[in-house]
Structure 1
Amino acid sequence: MRVLNDNLRNLFGKFQCEQSDVKISFTTFCRMRPKEFNLTQYISRNRCLCQKHQNMALLLKSVKAAGANVPLNPEDFIKRVQNNDINANEIMTGVKDDKVSYEQWKRVDCEDGKKRMKIVQHQVSRDELAAFFIKQTCEFQEHTQRIKEQYKAMSDLKHGLPPNHVIVQMDFAENFTCVSADEVQSAYWNQNSITLHPVVAYYKNDEGTLNHYSYIIVSDDLGHNSGSVFAFIQKLLLPQMREDIPNIKHIHHWTVSPSSQYRNKGTFQVVSDHMNLFAVSASWNYFESGHGKGPCDGLGGTAKRMADLAVRQNKCKIQDAKAIFEWGNSSQTSIKYLFVGSEFITEVRSDLEQKNIKSVSSVRHHENQSSECSINENYIVLLPRLSFW
């Protein structure tokens, strides 16, 4: 199945210019369109892509347009470089122009004082582009290698998961927006949002078979930060998991790595004192930036789709966090819904702030490194089996 990249009226004009001796009407031209070619309305947009992958794709596109013989797919390009089919140092020999332009996704300052991601165009000399291209190629090769190592580590951990160990993979979903089947105008402009935090817990039963439990943590607090994460673990996640999976001895946390949510001093403090707080040891692993998609994304999307469908079918009215929590537990699904109120989350944030954990200097990324943890004078010195990528 293919999709046209232009509308039929423009394509008909091009056809008339190229085939002036063929006389057909626009209606006949549309009727003769092959069925396997869909219209432009079926063109999809890709969202939440990896910034490093997209920047490499934009760079390859610009280099190829300038005359270099390179594939447009970043993954194919790296494979050919690793197989010595392409010499990255000789690619720019095909570029003849002295000035070359390329585009990159970057965070730029806007007029309102905020920073936003935009595609920025650069115009540089051929030598400057060659140096930048070599640098990007090396960084992208390391990026793809870390991704492969992480996915392999997760797969190996699932296959060799020790008894009484649990893998907890979690992530914030996009907030659920409360709507009604028949909604008045003023309600449309004052819609309520709900925080959804999907969690998937993997464990092995007595027969050694890998099973899992699916949880959706619901909250009326919209702050996606370390205080929320700590509250979710402290209030309901670990108590509920102990009820579902008895005799837990160690938890392997796997999350994405935004500093506002999981990779920060608050989370480091929690995991460093995990045994004292929850009577169970833990390690925390981070996925490479832009590549943390997994079962939590599907779990969150399924929950929101089912809730929206129930509202449209007039089976329930979801107007706040408690309503979706009650609906979720009453629906016939294997997903377990847990509720954490904003009051408790506010208390947890306050407790974390009172600990006055000071930030360490810039934490560099390391591959496959872990260490014991100790806290001295409110400084986190080392992190307990905390994987940086």
Structure 2
Amino acid sequence: MPIAHLFKDKLVCDIDNQDCMMETIKFQQWESTDRTALAVSELPTDDFLRKLVDMISDLTRHHFVAKKQGKYCRDLKETLKPNECLLQGDYSQKYSMTVQEATQGMFFNAPRQATLHPFLAYLNINGKIVPHSMCVFSDCLNHDAVSVNAFLKPVLQHIKIISPSIDTIKYFSDGAVGQYKNCKNFVNLLRHEEDFNIKYAEWNFFSNSHGKGPCDGIGGTIKRLAYRHSLQGGDIQTPFALFLWAEQQIENLKMFYVSSEDVNGNQKRLEGRLCEARTLTGTQSFHRFVPSLTSKYHMDAYDISENENFKTFQILPIPDPCTSVEFNSISVGKHVACLYSEDGRWYLAIVLEKNKEEQEFLLQFYKPPGESASIRGFKSTTNSKDQAWIPCVDVLKNIDSLEKTSRSGRTFKLSPTEYAQVSKLFTKKMQDS
């Protein structure tokens, strides 16, 4: 018997009465388009029952995930090791500045806003689990993976000061798509050690819309006290002023300020990796993400954090095996050794421009070719005839040991070790091709 039939005698007064069974059911339901509103709908009894059964099925899974993720977080807190940190984070609603004795003109202006991102870190200090409350203030109003990465920098630095042995971070947050649960944040998670010098990190997600957490309490407390201070004549009119006031007036809470300039700088630093991020199919059905132990381009996704089974996704493109370096590791102004296919020789060159779409570099070549420079060294030139666009696959190596050998600063040499490395890469490249 279909499940819907089990509900019929609960919805009507008499299942054998035609008037009862043929009537429609009017109900209210939250609907979201460009805004969320409580809408009134009306459906025939059978259609309403089918809709109700489908929604109960979704609610059942949501309830199960919510309970499991909450229990996993609680159990993890109790079993934290001295080298581990459980870090919860969540954006607080933006704080709007207010002035008690504002003029009429100010009333009609949109109030300035500040971003608040509370964090709560749990650490094992001498066998005791100790919470540390923190909050990042910013004038950057973008709530995305770039700002999250920028906000984590001072937070993780502070955690390392408190407990220098920390080498594992286990993040917990809600599943907000624009902020945490997206491919860009997962790419940053893959490069966590590169960004923060912390070896291991994973990201766990609570179920959405499932109650308030400790981070909501931190953000709410700051905004409530700041609002009361403003109504009592206090002067808080900028995000930085809010940060300074909170740092002086609120105890037992570590404050950090990250400016919009810092976030924009972080955007430029991360631009290369983020543009290559690949979307994960069915992201919302997974609640734990761990960088793969076998590949720095893949992520393991778990439907429930405590489960052992996982599905592996490729987040970043795997470089061509013939390429000695990744495109994003080469920056303008950097020196490289490359193959020039027109004459089959390798050259020292400096990068002038990059083309992401074509994966090419505009290089200014030094003279002479690599094989002839072992004794005389390399000489820089500014002649445009010594420039060419070179594909990334023909770049052999980033150069680290370039040294000046003349007072004019135009003649250079490589260390014997790096020269031998480039020669070996060149030989292998020619043999493979």
With structure 1 as the length reference, what TM-score do the two structures score?
Answer: 0.69
Contact (CA 8 Å) 1:272, 1:374: kept in 2 or not? no
> How is 1:322-341 mapped onto 2 (pairs within 5 angstroms)?
322-341=240-259
Matched, 1:255 2:180: no
CA distance 1:304–1:203, shift in 2 (3 Å): same
Contact (CA 8 Å) 2:287, 2:303: kept in 1 or not? no
Show the counterpart of 1:126. 45
Show the counterpart of 2:26. 101
Separation of aligned partners in 2, 1:343 and 1:386: 37
CA distance 1:213–1:339, shift in 2 (3 Å): same
Identity %: 26
> How is 1:131-280 mapped onto 2 (pairs within 5 angstroms)?
131-190=50-109, 191-206=111-126, 208-234=127-153, 236-280=154-198
> What is the CA distance between 1:301 and its match in structure 2?
0.7
Matched, 1:321 2:246: no
CA distance 1:257–1:310, shift in 2 (3 Å): same
Show the counterpart of 1:382. 299
Show the counterpart of 1:43. none
**Per-residue deviation, residues 294-316 of structure 1 (Å, max 9, x unmatched):** 001110011111122222333x4
Separation of aligned partners in 2, 1:141 and 1:386: 15
Separation of aligned partners in 2, 1:107 and 1:284: 28
Structure 1 counterpart of 2:244, which letter? E
CA radius of gyration, larger in: 2
Structure 2 counterpart of 1:156, which letter? D
Contact (CA 8 Å) 1:198, 1:300: kept in 2 or not? yes
Show the counterpart of 2:8. 92
> What is the CA distance between 1:388 and its match in structure 2?
7.2
Higher RCO (C-alpha under 8 Å, 6+ residues apart): 1
> How is 1:42-57 mapped onto 2 (pairs within 5 angstroms)?
none
Show the counterpart of 2:344. none
Contact (CA 8 Å) 2:286, 2:303: kept in 1 or not? no
Separation of aligned partners in 1, 2:52 and 2:299: 36
Which one is further off, 175-184 or 360-369?
Answer: 360-369
Show the counterpart of 1:288. 207
Show the counterpart of 1:116. 35
> What is the CA distance between 1:185 and its match in structure 2?
1.8
Secondary structure of the 2:141 match is coil
> Which of the pair is proportionally richer in helix?
1
> What is the CA distance between 1:282 and its match in structure 2?
0.7
> What is the CA distance between 1:332 and its match in structure 2?
4.8
Q: Size of the alignment, in residue pairs?
A: 292
Secondary structure of the 2:93 match is coil
> What is the CA distance between 1:323 and its match in structure 2?
0.7
Structure 2 counterpart of 1:382, which letter? M
Separation of aligned partners in 1, 2:38 and 2:176: 21
**Per-residue deviation, residues 136-190 of structure 1 (Å, max 9, x unmatched):** 2221111111111111111101111122211111111111111223221222333
Separation of aligned partners in 1, 2:32 and 2:250: 44
> What is the CA distance between 1:106 and its match in structure 2?
1.7
